[in-house]
Structure 1
Amino acid sequence: MTSVKQFHVLVVPTPAQGHVAPLVKLAHQIVDHGIKVTFVNIESAHKKFVTALPDTYVERQGMRFASIPDGLGSKDHRKDVLEVHEIIQNMPHRFKEFIEKINGLEEDAKVDYVIADLTANWALEVAAEMGIKRAGVCVTGPASLALTLQIPKLIGDGIIDINGTSLKDESICLSDNIPIWYTDEFVWSFPSNPTMQKICFEHASRKSQTIKFCDWILCNTCYETDPSACDLVPNILTIGPLLASNEHSHSSGSMRLEDSTCISWLDNQPAGSVVYVAFGSAVVLSHEQFEELEHGLASLGKPFLWVVPSNIANESVSKFGKVVEWAPQEKVLAHPSTACFVSHCGWNSTLEGLSNGVPFLCWPNFVDQFHNQKYICDVWKIGLRLDTDKSSGVFSRCEIKGKIEKLLSDDGIKENALKLKEIVRGSLANHGSSSRNLEYFIEQMMAD
């Protein structure tokens, strides 16, 4: 008896925490529809991901994690941007060989579709070359992608040069309903690091070309939170927020070991009392700024949970707070004891805060984070900004303490956050916009 071939999708992330996590969650949702998924990472990132899987992890039928050699060996792929950039240049032929190997095994294993992070444009380009249908995934907000699509015009208008460097001090407005950008807020802007800026700008520029040969652009957001930006992106389907479901929370996509003891610690704190502090996987505070934050938190007299990847916080902060190297963030933000979120405003963190109705104290550092802050503070009105001390150039302990106290006492912000939570959660419910879009995408993907 001949078996019926199971539809087979390759899901390819960019090898970074903020990119891997949402694509793992998307992969699980696709498997829920009876589709076979192979999640393909570069070897060094794959090893980190597998190492971070909890002891309770059970492999799902229909989901396989695989890797492509990258030549890094045991080295930390995040340490040398140039090295990673060079590796990515070699990925197209390795990815093509990977697909050819799968297709050569047996007819039932043949790859039918490729879903890849837009930043992993090499995967989408190879899929197009091989005649495989494909979709790109945007793991930033739709406004950031809409800005990226304007790069040719920004160059043509003399606002930036071919390396993304600002030539004019101007503000950019794409719509009356989208916050403006200043040139130093562009998603590729690293004024103090020309090498990083050149690489980020190159990837951003290629995005505007890559989407032209994608059948769909899957965006990790819900339409209701930013319709004007969504309408500027062709072939977009909003399918977010991509969250870990209860069934699959054991495989949230983390590339670091999560410290689950913080949940039991939260269980012992009063409702709405805990200040949660986390700046993602890439932000590194200066020694001076670290000390100001440390003293600001300690002076609050309130319980706090602080994620410090290198675990270098002084023991003096432990009287009121708990310090962990990495936290199960969605569970923390959903916990009734969590009162507010001191965040770098990365897109994943922004969505996770929105989804749980948690007010923000914004601490942006680079790429899209400054523009996300504008949405949080000016559009959605669910958070506050920090003001830099003019003499020191950092956020002072008094500023940090004062803004947290103001945030916790602002009922208007709390109400707005809860209203937005209902909107976001509604998009994920049956017949919600994101739920409908995912179902539509699955149907279109599998159509002949």
Structure 2
Amino acid sequence: MEKPHIMMVAFPMQGHVIPLLELAQVLATHGIRTTFVNTEMVHDRVVSSFAGESLVGFVSVPDGLQSRERYVPGKLTEAVYTNLPGKVQALIREINGGEDDHSKISCLVYDQSIGSLHQVARDAGIRSVAFLPAAAALLVLGLHIPQLHRDGIIDGQGNPLDSSPLQLAPTMPIMNPKHFVWHTVRNTTLQKLILDMMSQNNNSINSADWVICNSARDLEPGASTLAPQITFVGPLLASNRLADSAGQFYEHDKDSLKWLDQQPPSSVIYVSFGSYAVLGSAQFQELALGLELANRPFLWVVRPDAVPGEFPNGFSERTESRGRIVGWANQQKVLSHPSVACFVSHCGWNSTLESVSNGVPMLCWPYYADQFINQSYICDIWRVGLQLGRDNGVVVAFDEIKEKIDRVVGDQELKGRALQLKEMMVYGATSHRNLKNFITWLHER
């Protein structure tokens, strides 16, 4: 049977690349050829994350930015929305303009946050699939932007006019308008850009051939009801294939798992804030002191590019017998390790899925964007974690950090709910069936 050839395009951030690349690898095992498009900024990192030969083909395109511009808030987002569609259009034209019909691209699977790629697919005469790497609740929020404006909850710039928490449906996250995705960036230009793009992306959601989401219907029944066009195919985790996760932007510490082997069961506090978040110097110090005061083994991921200052005096010496600090970790394997008791997390969606899929309770410390939505799922809806988030720049004190760690680790009912959620993920037949149907559709060129 002739292999279909699809093109995939992710937003160039680790949390977007990893799940879409995981989907590409799943499709490859079912005879589907994939060309995965990265910007030059992340291309080498993604390709080098593979331990062996990849089943996925990679190409890179420029993002149109000078190196200094990438560190200006909003510049990368603006460049992706402005430049990437044209680059992808040229790539498709080049590949499909050849004489070899077997290599022609028949479908574009694109990151839903770049909705204009839907029109690129239509112009090329190929099918289109919108992929949501985040919770379905994020897409539902985007679909409700016009209603939020009409109801006087936000103004035309996306600023909150009403501070009352709202819930769009039962089992949906409870959201405070000041934590809406666009408002958390705290940059007026970027805020308006994100709001406008989310509004415009609604058109592609309503006309794409498929809208697939890296989530499970059992996790988000309310979102499924409000947006029935979503097909749930998650969680897309390398551990489901008994494989290592690819697409990591950082090289993970190779000895963390050996260190975890030496720790008692359900004893370790795992701390990681993902690939983007950076704690301020004062908060960094308080977190270190909180981990020390908790007097438990801990594995703390501190990225080389995210060290805001020095550790407290004597901290390393006082905690060296029970603490391990690394630049990056193989998170899926860490969270599946029996010694891990709690995950102190920024609540990125990948981290959230990895945690619930392993039955690990969470201590939630959201930073920006959809992480506040995910926190509400964890704390309010699923009730498998506690909130420890900053708000309006307030520094969380070390004694509160210690107290919340003790509560999460000691709450057996919370742990029980986390294990129930894990079982739900293990036996998630709906996502498996949806993914099988999607693969069949891709083969129908």
Match of 1:287 among 269, 281, 286: 281
Q: Which aligned pairs between 1:367-382 and structure 2 lie closer than 5 A?
A: 367-382=369-384
Question: Could you tell which deviates more after superposition, 306-315 or 223-232?
Answer: 306-315
RMSD (CA atoms):
2.2
Match of 1:42 among 36, 39, 44: 39
> Which whole-Å CA distance do the structure 2 matches of 1:331 and 1:290 have between them?
25
Partner of 2:131: 137
Q: Which aligned pairs between 1:78-97 and structure 2 lie closer than 5 A?
A: 80-97=73-90
Describe the superposition over 1:153-209 as per-residue Cα deviations: whole angstroms up to 9, x where unpaired: 222233222321223334333113323322112121137321231222223222212
- Aligned-pair distance for 1:445? 2.9
- Aligned-pair distance for 1:70? 2.3
- Aligned-pair distance for 1:42? 1.4
Partner of 1:422: 423
**Which AA in structure 2 matches 1:104?**
G
Match of 1:123 among 117, 128, 140: 117
Structure 2 residue ranges without an equivalent (≥5): none
Question: Could you tell which deviates more after superposition, 6-15 or 82-91?
Answer: 82-91
> Which whole-Å CA distance do the structure 1 matches of 2:295 and 2:154 have between them?
47
**Which AA in structure 2 matches 1:64?**
G
Describe the superposition over 1:321-369 as per-residue Cα deviations: whole angstroms up to 9, x where unpaired: 1111111110100011111100111111111000000000111122222
Q: TM-score, normalised by structure 1?
A: 0.92
Partner of 2:54: 59
Describe the superposition over 1:383-403 as per-residue Cα deviations: whole angstroms up to 9, x where unpaired: 11227699x921110011111
Is 1:25 matched up with 2:19? no
Match of 2:169 among 171, 175, 186: 175
Describe the superposition over 1:416-444 as per-residue Cα deviations: whole angstroms up to 9, x where unpaired: 111100001111xxxx1110000111122
User: Residue 239 of structure 2 contacts residue 332 of structure 2 at CA under 8 Å; is this kept in 1?
Assistant: no
> Which whole-Å CA distance do the structure 2 matches of 1:279 and 1:418 have between them?
23
From the superposition, tell whether residues 83 and 364 of structure 1 become closer, same or farther in structure 2 (CA, over 3 Å).
Answer: closer
Partner of 2:361: 359
Structure 1 residue ranges without an equivalent (≥5): none
User: Residue 348 of structure 2 contacts residue 370 of structure 2 at CA under 8 Å; is this kept in 1?
Assistant: yes
SS of residue in 1 equivalent to 2:218: helix
Is 1:99 matched up with 2:100? no
Partner of 2:179: 185
> Which whole-Å CA distance do the structure 1 matches of 2:245 and 2:162 have between them?
45
**Which AA in structure 2 matches 1:120?**
I
User: Residue 298 of structure 1 contacts residue 320 of structure 1 at CA under 8 Å; is this kept in 2?
Assistant: no
User: Residue 3 of structure 2 contacts residue 443 of structure 2 at CA under 8 Å; is this kept in 1?
Assistant: no
**Which AA in structure 2 matches 1:183?**
P
User: Residue 215 of structure 1 contacts residue 235 of structure 1 at CA under 8 Å; is this kept in 2?
Assistant: no
> Which whole-Å CA distance do the structure 1 matches of 2:378 and 2:73 have between them?
32
Partner of 1:330: 332
From the superposition, tell whether residues 387 and 162 of structure 1 become closer, same or farther in structure 2 (CA, over 3 Å).
Answer: closer
User: Residue 44 of structure 1 contacts residue 73 of structure 1 at CA under 8 Å; is this kept in 2?
Assistant: no
> Which whole-Å CA distance do the structure 2 matches of 1:191 and 1:6 have between them?
42
> Which whole-Å CA distance do the structure 1 matches of 2:33 and 2:185 have between them?
43
Q: How many residues align?
A: 436
User: Residue 91 of structure 1 contacts residue 122 of structure 1 at CA under 8 Å; is this kept in 2?
Assistant: no
> Which whole-Å CA distance do the structure 1 matches of 2:427 and 2:344 have between them?
25
**Which AA in structure 2 matches 1:197?**
Q
- Aligned-pair distance for 1:74? 5.8
Is 1:341 matched up with 2:343? yes
Partner of 1:404: 405
SS of residue in 1 equivalent to 2:226: coil
Q: Which aligned pairs between 1:230-241 and structure 2 lie closer than 5 A?
A: 230-241=224-235
- Aligned-pair distance for 1:78? 5.5
Q: Which aligned pairs between 1:193-272 and structure 2 lie closer than 5 A?
A: 193-245=187-239, 249-272=243-266
**Which AA in structure 2 matches 1:94?**
K
From the superposition, tell whether residues 277 and 79 of structure 1 become closer, same or farther in structure 2 (CA, over 3 Å).
Answer: farther
> Which whole-Å CA distance do the structure 1 matches of 2:264 and 2:165 have between them?
44
Q: TM-score, normalised by structure 2?
A: 0.92
User: Residue 276 of structure 1 contacts residue 305 of structure 1 at CA under 8 Å; is this kept in 2?
Assistant: yes
User: Residue 49 of structure 1 contacts residue 256 of structure 1 at CA under 8 Å; is this kept in 2?
Assistant: no
Question: Could you tell which deviates more after superposition, 40-49 or 75-84?
Answer: 75-84
User: Residue 190 of structure 1 contacts residue 196 of structure 1 at CA under 8 Å; is this kept in 2?
Assistant: no
User: Residue 64 of structure 2 contacts residue 83 of structure 2 at CA under 8 Å; is this kept in 1?
Assistant: no
User: Residue 114 of structure 2 contacts residue 201 of structure 2 at CA under 8 Å; is this kept in 1?
Assistant: no
> Which whole-Å CA distance do the structure 1 matches of 2:240 and 2:368 have between them?
32
